[in-house]
Amino acid sequence: MQIPNRIPVTDPVMTLARERFTFTAEAEYNNRIAAKGDLEFYVSDQWDQGTKADRASANRPCLTINRLPQFTRQITNGLRQNMPAVHIIPVHDSDEEVAEILEGMVRHIQDISQSGIAYSTANLNQVVAGQGFFRVVTEYLNEKSFDQEIKIKRIKNALSVYVDPNAIEPDYSDARYMFITSDLTRAAFEERYPDKTIVSDDYLSAMGDSVRTWLSGNRDVMRIAEYWTVEEKRSKLYQLEDGSIVDKVPEGQKALKDREVVERKVMCRHISGVEVLEEYEWEGKYIPIIPCLGEDIDVDGTRIIKGMVRDAQDPQRMYNYWATAQTEMIALAPKAPYIIAEGQLEGYKAIWENANTTSYSALPYKPTDIMGHPVPPPQRQVAEPPVQAMVQAMSQAAEDLKATTGIYDASLGAKSNETSGKAINARKMQGDVSNYHFMDNFSYSIQHLGRILLDLIPKIYVTQRIVRILGQDDSVSYKTINGPSGEKDANGIEKIYDITTGQYDVTVDVGPSYKTKRQQDSESIGNLLQANPELWATCGDLLVKSMDWPDAEQISERLRKMLPPQLQDAPDGQQEIPQQVKQMLDQQSQQIEQMTAVIHQLSDERDMKLYELKSKETIEFEKMKTQITIEAMKVEAGASQSLMQAEFASIANDEQLSNQAAMAIHNAGLNIAQAHAMPQPQQNGVDNSTENSPE
C-alpha cells in the first residue's frame, strides 16, 4: 500500500512524519481490513456483497438475525458494573496522606470528565474490533485563568489512531510516535489556520479511516493529524565517593559509578499533508493516548489483533442463512402444483391459473382428456419442506455462536439444564473466565492511565490551590495543596500537602464497584442477622448504613448511639479517649458524686435545726398570747385589783422568760449562719454551697 506524495516537502519534520505515516499504514493494513470488517459485520452488514446482489436480483430475501450484540454486551456492560479503579501508593517513605489526595484527585478527574463514556467506547471497540483508544487532555479552568484541569476524552473511531509498529508493550508506553487524524471543512480550516496551505489531497488516510464524505454539497474536507513524538536526550549520571549523585563530576573528585540517563520530551504537532500547522511541548513524559487491546498474537512476525466478533462471523452467517432458508421455504415458496390430464382445463384455464392465489368455492374441470377417455379430477402434488432439518441446523449454529464466544445460556440469562444456584453460577463463571482477557487487558490500560495522571498532576497543579477530592464512596471533600492547608497534626504543626514532591506508584483494583459492594454487604449482613437475631443489638447500625434508603445514614447514626459504650467509636473528627484517661475521669466522677451527697446532707441538717428553733419560738409566742387574753378577760370581769397585780407580776416574769428565749433563738441563728459561711467542697471549680438563709 502506498500513500500518495504528490506535493514534495522540504521540512525534515514533515518528511519524517510522512515516512512514518506511510510505514505505519502499511504495517497495520491487514489488521485494519479485518477490524473494519468486524465493525461492519457487528452493525448487521453480514451478507457478502456477491450473494446479496444475486438474491436481490432473484427477489429472494437476505435476513439478518444479529445475535452478536447480546454476546458482546455481556463483556461491555460487565465492565460498566465493575470498572477498574486506580490506587496510588507511596514509595520510599513518601507521604501516605498525599497519596490519598492524589488518588482522590484521580477520581475527581474521572468524574468531571465523564470518563465512563471514554472507557465504554474504547471497550466496545476492543471487544468488537480488537482495539480501542481513549486519551488525556488539559484545559484551562476558564477564559481568564492560567490554572488548568486534566480531562479524559474518548476517541470515537479507533481506526483514526496510528501507532508506531515497533511498540511491543500492551499499553504502547514504548511507542516513539502516534497519529490521530481528524477532518475539517475548508471554512473551518481557513478560520483556524488562516496563513496555512489548503491541501485537499488524501495524504493522511488509510484503510478504515477515509476522509468523511457526509458533508453536503461540494465543500472540500481537509484532513489533518495530531503527530505525537517522543524525543530523547541522553546524558550521564555519576555517583561520587560520598554517595551523592550528580550529573557532572566536580574537579578533584572521583566517580564510583556512572550510567547513561535518557530524558523524554513529548511533542505534539498538528500537521496537514505538507506542513506543520502548530506545535507545543506536552507537560508529561508519556504520549497521552491509551490503547485497549483484545487478543494480541504474533504469528511468524505478523501481528494479529482481534476481538470477539472475528471468530463468531461464520456461525452468525450460518444462523442467518438457515433462518432465511426456513422463511423462504415456508412463507415464500410456490404452492404445491396440480397434476392435470391434458384437456381437463379446456374452458376453465383462467380459473385454474389463479387457483393458488384466489379462494374459489368450486374448481370446474372436464372429466375426460383430449382423447375423450374418462380421467380422475386434478390432484395436488404435495411436497413437505424440510423445516425440521432447518430448525436443527439453526440450533447448531446458535450453539456454535456460544462456543466461539465462550458465553453460554447461564451467562445470557436463558434457562438451561442447570437447576441449582451453584451450578448456574459455575456455568456463568466459565463464561467470565473465557473472556477475562478483555477485562484484564483493559485493567492494563487503566493502570497506564494512572501512570500518565500521576506524572501529569504535579506538573499541572503546581500552584497553591484548593482541589476537590472524591472518595471511594463518592463523598466529596476539599484540600489545599502546595501550601499551608489550615490543618494541624497531633503536635500542633500545620500540615502541607505538597504533591510536587515524593515518589508514588500505581496499582489497579478490578472488581465490583463501591455501590455493588455496598449491596453485597447489605445482603450478607441481612443473612447474618436473620440467622442470629440477637446480633441486631450490636451490628444493626451497620446493616442500615449499607442500605440505600434516603435516611439510612441518619437512622444508622441513631442506632450507633444506642450501642454499648465499648462498641461506640469516637465521633468524626475526634480522637478516641485512651483507657487510662477514661479510668481517671470515672474516678473523678465518683468523687464528685460523693462530695455532692455530703453537701446535700449538711444542707438537710441545717434546715432541720432552723425548723426546730422556729417551732419553739412559735409555741412560746402563742402561750404568751393565751395568757394575755386570759388576764384581759379577768380584768373585764371585775377581778380584784390584788389579783390583777399578782397576775401582772406573773406576766412580767413570763416576759422576762420570753426575752431570754428570744435571745437564745437569736444566738442559735448566728451560730448556724457562721457554720454555713465556712468554705464548702467544690466541683469543677464551681462553689456548690447554699447561701445563708435570712431566716
Taking only the tens place, the pLDDT of each residue in 399-442 is 898 888 888 776 666 666 655 555 555 555 565 678 888 988 99
Separation of alpha carbons 587 and 456, rounded Å: 57
Q: What is the pLDDT of residue 515?
A: 56
Tell me whether residue 227 is in a domain: yes
Measured over the CA atoms of residue 69, residue 71, residue 76 and residue 77, the dihedral's sign is positive
- Residue 215's domain comprises 176-286
Q: What is the pLDDT of residue 693?
A: 40
Tell me whether residue 103 is in a domain: no
Q: What is the pLDDT of residue 307?
A: 94
Q: What are the residues facing 271 on neighbouring strands?
A: 225, 276
The residue with greater pLDDT, 256 or 429, is 256
Separation of alpha carbons 614 and 695, rounded Å: 9
Tell me whether residue 529 is in a domain: yes
Over residues 345-362, the mean pLDDT reads 79
Tell me whether residue 162 is in a domain: no
Q: How far is CA 674 from CA 234, 606, 670, 678, 691, in A?
A: 96, 12, 6, 7, 11
Query: Across the chain, what does the average pLDDT equal?
Result: 79
Query: Quick check: 605 pLDDT over 50?
Result: yes
Q: Are residues 597 and 535 in the same domain?
A: no
DSSP 155: -
Q: Are residues 554 and 628 in the same domain?
A: no
When pLDDT is cut at 50, 70 and 90, the band that residue 678 belongs to is low
Q: Indicate the pTM of the whole model.
A: 0.69
The residue with greater pLDDT, 695 or 36, is 36
How many domains, in total, are found in the chain? 3
Q: Domain end: 286, 316, 335, which one?
A: 286
SS3 sequence of 68-86: HHHHHHHHHHHHHHCCCEE
Tell me whether residue 155 is in a domain: no
Q: Are residues 535 and 630 in the same domain?
A: no
When pLDDT is cut at 50, 70 and 90, the band that residue 683 belongs to is very low
DSSP string of 314-372? HHHHHHHHHHHHHHIIIIISPPPPEE--TTTTTTTHHHHHTTTTS--S-----SB-TT-
Q: What is the pLDDT of residue 380?
A: 75
Tell me whether residue 190 is in a domain: yes
Q: What is the pLDDT of residue 285?
A: 92
The β-bridge relationship of strands 221-240 and 255-271 is antiparallel
Q: What is the pLDDT of residue 656?
A: 64
**52 in Cβ contact with 293 (< 8 Å):** no
Q: What is the pLDDT of residue 3?
A: 42
Query: Which region among 30-34, 89-93, 397-401, 560-564 has the lowest average model confidence (pLDDT)?
Result: 560-564
Tell me whether residue 195 is in a domain: yes
Q: What is the pLDDT of residue 131?
A: 95
User: Alpha helices, DSSP H only, in 508-640?
Assistant: 514-531, 536-545, 552-561, 579-636
Q: What is the pLDDT of residue 33?
A: 95
When pLDDT is cut at 50, 70 and 90, the band that residue 688 belongs to is very low
Q: What is the pLDDT of residue 631?
A: 67
Q: What is the pLDDT of residue 334?
A: 58
DSSP H or E run through 26: helix 12-27
Tell me whether residue 51 is in a domain: no
When pLDDT is cut at 50, 70 and 90, the band that residue 660 belongs to is low
Q: Are residues 518 and 557 in the same domain?
A: yes
Q: Domain end: 247, 263, 286, which one?
A: 286
All three cell numbers of 685: 471549680
Q: What is the pLDDT of residue 670?
A: 57
Over residues 201-222, the mean pLDDT reads 70
Q: Are residues 682 and 603 in the same domain?
A: yes
Separation of alpha carbons 368 and 344, rounded Å: 6
